[in-house]
């Protein structure tokens, strides 16, 4: 069935797309199936990647006494809208319950937007499932900089939901809706929304006549979108207020070249990433080229061109480190490559659905494509079931078992079980204001133990002073002379840590330090068993007489 352009408007530049209406029951059914697909792909138990990062910070926002001694959760809070809309749930529910509620809300938003967008391009039942499948597989297998959309809940999930609604508005030529929607995306995640605004500008310039009347038509929606975006821009700018320029340069260098280089610095991307993403772009061009004159698809194709153009510009910026490393770090920290990771596979899925929806495509071809899609879903289901044999949160799988990710699920589950045991003991047997020296590689101590920690690798602050302090603590607590993963056992240094960071306890991973340390062990004792983790009390500070 071909999309129809309404002729009700007298000015062709304001004509809106009209498509056959899908009954509400069918729409809800498709949204439900998309939700099932999302769950198959990312339905791990909480916390998922970044959930322990975002939600602990959100909990501290609403309860400043919670982990008040933790540098990360008390550092500058840039994602205010996320804290206000999702974070408040932490006042009434557990972190895990908040994560599931947030996932359901975020995934529902994306599913509704994706269904509407797919229907506007290809008004065929279940086209959105094909688009969603191509999108998920494309991001997972052919990303350039590690972006993801369907996963644990965080601010960008809602931001991408608004971007999808804005893309549907572009297709329907409702540009007066595009800018407020992208403003809302920026309010949740300023980089997702901000880069999408630039890509949308490319689409607007390429598909609309730039007359004075058109400029006037866009001004008010742009102003409204900008005002909404300030809800996300202002908190981010607040974290940079009063920062010494030298500190800002140092923080940008730490963030770009050391901590987040796998997302920001192209020199650190593996060749496999480049090959996979370039191949995906080539496939998308092949699918889009026969449809390039389709007035329905043109705005989205140009939106994808804008996303890829931002990446190309980022590659030029990435040439600067040899001559201007500080400038390059300051620019590259804005995630130039995230939009291409998400928009290119989405465009490929939309083009495939649009091609299959054309009348000249036989039902046999469409059926074979559907069978392939179902097969891919079954493969995903198998992967999901195998992954869930050891019911373990993704954040734990990637951090706790990093020394033995090649080991059996039984081994990994034992490590996870020991980690939960030590965290439960800490939560039940230490004061709420206690601060811990925790293992460097874990990222869920605050989530399970609900206690502050001095520093860990994952929880990197975003404001410059805290980021510099994070770097200093990492070097001091986990010195390179000990392999960068172990804490010293010198009494003088441990006493110094106790006094400086107000910490009395240290958790030791016995895979790194298998022997008995010359410290007072307070867990496990008696009938308690834990083959992987031990808790020691740090030596007391000797007062000078």
pLDDT over threshold 50, residue 3: no
Contact between 484 and 456 under an 8 Å Cβ cutoff? The reply is no
Radius of gyration of the chain (CA): 25
Average pLDDT of span 390-413:
74
Percent of the chain with pLDDT over 70: 89
Distance between CA atoms of residues 38 and 300, nearest Å: 23
pLDDT over threshold 50, residue 82: yes
Q: Residue 257: its pLDDT value, please?
A: 95
User: Distances from the Cα of 386 to the Cαs of 283, 383, 389, 403, in angstroms?
Assistant: 30, 5, 5, 20
Backbone angles phi, psi at 98, to 5 degrees: -60, -40
Contact between 114 and 34 under an 8 Å Cβ cutoff? The reply is yes
pLDDT over threshold 70, residue 365: no
Average the pLDDT over each of 7-16, 112-121, 138-147, 245-254 and give the range with the smallest value: 7-16
pLDDT over threshold 60, residue 457: yes
Angle at 423 (CA atoms; ends 420, 425), nearest 5 degrees: 110
pLDDT over threshold 50, residue 281: yes
Average pLDDT of span 463-485:
88
Strand-pair partners of 436: 453, 505
Q: pLDDT for 19-58, tens place per residue?
A: 777 788 889 999 999 999 999 888 889 999 899 999 999 9
pLDDT over threshold 60, residue 387: no
Average pLDDT of span 291-304:
94
pLDDT over threshold 60, residue 5: no
Average the pLDDT over each of 263-277, 378-392, 515-529 and give the range with the smallest value: 378-392
Q: pLDDT for 212-268, tens place per residue?
A: 888 888 999 999 999 999 999 998 888 888 889 999 999 999 999 999 999 999 999
pLDDT over threshold 80, residue 376: no
User: Distances from the Cα of 244 to the Cαs of 228, 233, 247, 465, in angstroms?
Assistant: 29, 20, 5, 9
User: Distances from the Cα of 382 to the Cαs of 149, 375, 378, 398, 438, in angstroms?
Assistant: 21, 11, 6, 20, 35
pLDDT over threshold 80, residue 399: no
Q: Residue 506: its pLDDT value, please?
A: 96
Q: How much is the mean pLDDT over the chain?
A: 88
Q: pLDDT for 154-213, tens place per residue?
A: 999 999 999 999 999 999 999 999 999 999 999 999 999 999 999 999 999 999 888 888
303: which 2 tokens? 């939106």
Q: Residue 12: its pLDDT value, please?
A: 39
Stated as kind and residue range, the H or E segment containing 209 is none
Q: Residue 8: its pLDDT value, please?
A: 34
Average pLDDT of span 144-163:
96
Q: pLDDT for 337-364, tens place per residue?
A: 999 999 999 999 999 999 888 776 665 6
Average the pLDDT over each of 41-55, 98-112, 216-230, 400-414 and give the range with the smallest value: 400-414
Percent of the chain with pLDDT over 90: 70
458: which 2 tokens? 């994952």
């Amino acid at each position: 069935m071909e999309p129809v352009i309404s002729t009700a408007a007298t000015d062709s530049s304001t004509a809106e797309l009209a498509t056959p209406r899908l009954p509400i029951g069918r729409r809800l059914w498709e949204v439900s199936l998309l939700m099932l697909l999302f769950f198959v792909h990312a339905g791990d138990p909480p916390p998922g990647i970044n959930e322990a990062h975002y939600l602990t910070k959100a909990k501290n926002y609403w309860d400043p006494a919670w982990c008040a001694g933790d540098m990360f959760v008390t550092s500058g809070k840039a994602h205010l809208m996320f804290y206000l809309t999702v974070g408040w749930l932490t006042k009434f529910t557990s972190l895990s319950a908040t994560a599931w509620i947030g996932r359901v809300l975020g995934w529902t938003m994306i599913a509704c937007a994706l269904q509407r967008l797919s229907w506007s391009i290809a008004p065929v039942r279940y086209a959105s499932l094909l688009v969603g499948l191509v999108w998920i597989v494309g991001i997972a297998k052919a990303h350039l900089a590690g972006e993801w959309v369907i996963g644990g809940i965080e601010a960008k999930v809602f931001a991408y939901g608004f971007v999808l609604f804005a893309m549907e508005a572009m297709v329907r030529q409702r540009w007066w809706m595009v800018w407020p929607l992208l403003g809302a995306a920026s309010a949740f995640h300023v980089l997702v929304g901000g880069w999408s605004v630039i890509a949308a500008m490319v689409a607007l310039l390429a598909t609309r006549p730039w007359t004075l009347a058109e400029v006037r038509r866009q001004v008010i929606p742009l102003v409204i979108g900008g005002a909404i975006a300030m809800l996300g821009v202002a908190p981010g700018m607040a974290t940079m207020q009063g920062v010494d320029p030298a500190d800002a340069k140092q923080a940008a260098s730490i963030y770009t070249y050391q901590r987040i280089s796998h997302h920001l610095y192209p020199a650190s991307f593996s060749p496999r990433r480049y090959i996979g993403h370039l191949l995906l772009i080539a496939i998308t061009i092949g699918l889009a080229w026969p449809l390039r004159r389709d007035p329905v698809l043109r705005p989205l194709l140009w939106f994808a061109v804008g996303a890829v153009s931002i990446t190309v510009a980022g590659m030029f910026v990435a040439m600067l480190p040899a001559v201007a490393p500080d400038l390059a770090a300051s620019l590259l920290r804005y995630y130039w490559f995230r939009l291409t990771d998400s928009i290119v596979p989405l465009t490929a899925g939309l083009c495939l659905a649009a091609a299959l929806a054309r009348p000249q495509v036989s039902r046999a071809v469409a059926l074979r494509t559907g069978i392939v899609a179902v097969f891919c879903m079954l493969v995903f289901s198998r992967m999901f079931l195998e992954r869930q044999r050891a019911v373990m949160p993704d954040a734990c799988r990637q951090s706790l078992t990093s020394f033995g990710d090649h080991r059996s699920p039984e081994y990994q589950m034992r490590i996870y079980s020991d980690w939960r045991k030590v965290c439960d003991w800490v939560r039940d047997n230490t004061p709420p204001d206690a601060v811990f020296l925790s293992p460097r590689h874990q990222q869920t101590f605050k989530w399970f133990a609900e206690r502050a920690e001095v520093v860990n690798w994952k929880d990197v602050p975003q404001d410059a002073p805290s980021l510099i302090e994070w770097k200093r603590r990492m070097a001091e607590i986990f010195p390179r002379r000990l392999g960068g993963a172990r804490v010293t056992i010198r009494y003088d240094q441990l006493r110094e840590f106790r006094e400086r960071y107000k910490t009395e306890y240290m958790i030791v991973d016995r895979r790194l330090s298998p022997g008995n340390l010359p410290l007072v062990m307070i867990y496990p004792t008696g009938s308690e068993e834990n083959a992987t983790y031990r808790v020691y009390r740090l030596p007391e500070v000797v007062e000078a007489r």
